[in-house]
Amino acid sequence: MRALRMVGRWRKVGWIAHVGMCVALSLPMYSARGAMHTRADHPRFGGTIVTVPGVGLGPPAAVNGFNPLLVSSAFDMQAAGLLYQPLVWVTRRFQVDAHLSIARRILVGPHHRTYTLILGHHWRWSDGTPVTTADIAYTYHMIQRLGPQFANYGVGGIPTNVSSFHILGPYRLRITLKKAVNPRWFIQNGLTLLTPLPSAAWRRFSVTSLYAHLADPRFFRVVDGPFRLAAFAFGRYVAFGPNHHFAGPDKPYLHRLVLRFLHDPESIFFGLETGKIQIADLPHELLPGRGKLHGFRERVVGPAWGFSYLGFDYANPRIAFVRDARVRRAMMHAIRQGLLIRVQYYGQGVRDYGPIPPRPAVYLSPLARRLERVGAYDPRRARALLREAGWRLGHKKVREKDGQRLAFTALVPPGEVRGPTLIKAMLAQVGIDMRLREKPFNEIVAMTQGPDATKWDALTLAWGLGPYPSARNIFGCDGANNFYHYCDKRMDALLDAVPSARGKDAIFRYEDYFIKEQPVVVLPGERHVIEARDDIRGLRRAYSSLGGFNPQYLWIMRSGR
C-alpha cells in the first residue's frame, strides 16, 4: 500500500497504504478530557475541521498530487480517495459493502476465471453524467499504458492476469482471467484497483499531460466521491468541500476540510494546543504532555494494515552483505522490539516479524503468533550468525570481512529518529554500524525509486497491504514496487501460490519463509493516539483501527451542549 498505510475504502499503495473501512472491528478505546455528550446528539451539517495528512498512519507529510493512477504515497492516495468512489468497498471485516461500491453485484463464473460486474445506476459524476463501465475501462486501459509506472501494477492480477476486458453495456462488463484464482483474492486485491475515473473529462489527455496536471485543482473538477477539491497551496495545505452532487448514502456533513502540511512533532502539538488544527496524531514522544491539551477527546487506533521495516538496496555493491540471509536474521535477533515499543512508541505498539499485520490476527501463522507473544530478541544468536557468515570484530567493535566493515546508512523521515537511534545502539551491540541520515519523506521517495535510484543503502518506512495480504509487487523478482532489487525464486514460488490457493495454508507458508529470510527487517506495529477537539463527532467511523480516513462521517456538535 506504494508505502503504507490503508478506513473507509481500501487504497493499496506502497509507502504507507490507505484502507477504506466502514464497520467496526472492535470497540475503540476512548478517553475524554472535556464535555460529555449524550445519545441526543445528532449529526449536523456545516463547519470547518483542520487536520493534517495521514492521521492514524504516522507522522504527516505533504500531499503532492491527486490522480489515483499516478500517485504512490499514502498521503496522496488518502487525498485522492476523498474525490473518487471505489469500484469495490471492502469493510473492516474484509467483506464487500455493495451500498458503498460502484459495483452493485459481482458474478463469478463456475471456474473462477470470469467476473461479471453490474454497476449501480444511481452513481453520478459532479457534472451530472452517469458513472458507467466506460469510466472503469478508462482506468483499466490507463493502467495498461502506464505499466510499472502505476504503483500497483500487477497487484491482484491487474492487468497481468487478464485475458479479456469486455464492456457489455453502460452498466455491465466482464473480465476474463488467463488462469483461475481465488475470487476473494481477485476481488479484494485486483478489482479494488479499478476505481472509475471520468473518461469523458480525461480521455483527451496524454500521460505527460496527466503528470503536468497532477496537482492542478482545475483538472479535478469532475469527481464522484464525497468531496471536491476546493484549494491547493503547494507545500502548505489542501482544502476540500462537499461534493453536492455525491450520489452515495454517506454524504459529508462538513462545509470544509483542510489538511495542513505540518511535519515536526512540536508544530503538531502547538497546532493542537492553539486550535490551529483540531485533529492530529499526538507524536509518541509528546504523549507525556497530553495533559496540557484541554477540551480534546482521544482515540487509540492501529496498527495499520501493513508493516514497518528496515529495508535495503540489494543492488548496491557497498552493502552486498545484506544478500546473506544470516546477516539479516542477525539484525532481527539483535533488535529488542519490546524495548522499542516502550521507548519509541511509549507502549503503543505490538511485536511484528513478518509481512502479515498482527492485528487483526486473521492471517497470522502459528509461527508468527508465537513470535508476537515471546519475541525474537537473542543477541547471542545474532553474534553467532554473524560469525558463521565470516564477520569478525574489528576496529571500534565493528565487524569486518575481507577488508569491508559491516556498516550502512539508513534514510529516516523527519521526526522519526528516536526509534532508529535505539536500533542503531542495538545493532552496535552485535558489531553492526548503522548510521542515520534524516531526509524529508518526499526526498526519500525520490532517492529510492526509479532506474537511477541505486545510491542508497537502507531506509525505514512502512508498507500498506491489500485486504487479502500478499506482496508479490514488493518482494517478487519482477515486482512493480520492488525498489529493493530483492530476488529469491523460492519467495516467488510461494507468492505465486497465494492467489489460487483456498484457505490460509499458502499464506502461512509464504509468511513463515519471509520471517526466516527477513528480506526486510520487520519492526514493531505502531498504534496511534488521535487527539480530536471535544465537539467533533464521528471519529469511530472516520478513523478505523486499521488506518485510513473517511472524513464524510465527521461532524461538529452545536455549542452549548
Tell me the per-residue pLDDT of 378-398, one tens digit each, with 9 for 90 and over: 999 999 999 999 999 999 999
More confident residue, 40 or 282: 282
**pLDDT reported for residue 451:** 62
**pLDDT reported for residue 20:** 32
DSSP state of 468: S
The order of strands in the sheet holding 172-177 is 103-108, 114-119, 172-177, 162-169
pLDDT band (50, 70, 90) for residue 455: confident
pLDDT band (50, 70, 90) for residue 480: confident
Q: What is the 3-state secondary structure (H, E, C) of 70-109?
A: CCCCHHHHHHHHCCCCCCCCECCCCCECCCCCCEEEEEEC
306-526 topology per CATH: Dipeptide-binding Protein; domain 3 (3.10.105)
> How far apart, in whole angstroms, are the C-alpha atoms of residue 6 and residue 15?
10
Q: Could you state, in order of their start, the residue ranges of all structural domains in the chain? A: 29-85+211-304+528-556, 103-202, 306-526
Residue type, 363: Y
**pLDDT reported for residue 26:** 26
> How far apart, in whole angstroms, are the C-alpha atoms of residue 269 and residue 300?
17
**pLDDT reported for residue 304:** 85
C-alpha cell read off for 363 = 492471517
| Average pLDDT over all residues of the chain | 89
Res 29 pLDDT > 70: no
Q: What would the mean pLDDT of 60-71 be, rounded to a whole number?
A: 93
C-alpha cell read off for 371 = 513470535
Res 544 pLDDT > 80: no
**pLDDT reported for residue 348:** 92
**pLDDT reported for residue 463:** 86
- pTM, entire model: 0.84
**pLDDT reported for residue 450:** 67
Residue 530, SS3 per DSSP: strand
Residue type, 199: S
Res 30 pLDDT > 70: no
C-alpha cell read off for 190 = 485486483
Phi, psi of 499 (to 5 degrees): -60, -35
Residue type, 162: V
For the stretch 125-176, pLDDT in tens is 999 999 999 999 999 999 999 998 898 899 999 999 999 999 999 999 999 9
Q: What would the mean pLDDT of 196-220 be, rounded to a whole number?
A: 96
C-alpha cell read off for 79 = 487525498
For the stretch 1-22, pLDDT in tens is 334 333 233 333 333 332 332 3
More confident residue, 244 or 439: 244
| Cβ within 8 Å of residue 359, ≥6 positions away | 302, 303, 350, 525, 545, 546
For the stretch 418-429, pLDDT in tens is 899 999 999 999
**pLDDT reported for residue 560:** 52
Tell me the angle at which helices 418-428 and 337-344 cross, rounded to the nearest 10 degrees: 150
Res 552 pLDDT > 80: yes
| CB distance 53 to 78 below 8 Å | yes
Among candidates 105, 231, 228, 234, which has minimal Cα distance to 171? 105
For the stretch 54-64, pLDDT in tens is 888 878 889 99
Other CB atoms within 10 A of residue 338 CB: 13
Q: In degrees to the nearest 10, what's the CA dihedral of 203, 247, 127, 227?
A: -80
C-alpha cell read off for 414 = 523527519
Q: Is the peptide bond before 360 cis (omega within 30 degrees of 0)?
A: yes
Q: With 0-12 CB in 10 A as exposed, 13-18 as middle and 19+ as buried, what is 501?
A: middle
Q: Which of 290-294, 322-326, 519-523 has the lowest mean pLDDT?
A: 290-294
**pLDDT reported for residue 525:** 93
| Cβ within 8 Å of residue 478, ≥6 positions away | none
> How far apart, in whole angstroms, are the C-alpha atoms of residue 224 and residue 82?
9
Under CATH, which architecture does the 29-85+211-304+528-556 domain have? 3-Layer(aba) Sandwich (3.40)
Overall CATH class of domain 103-202: alpha beta
**pLDDT reported for residue 17:** 31
Q: With 0-12 CB in 10 A as exposed, 13-18 as middle and 19+ as buried, what is 62?
A: buried
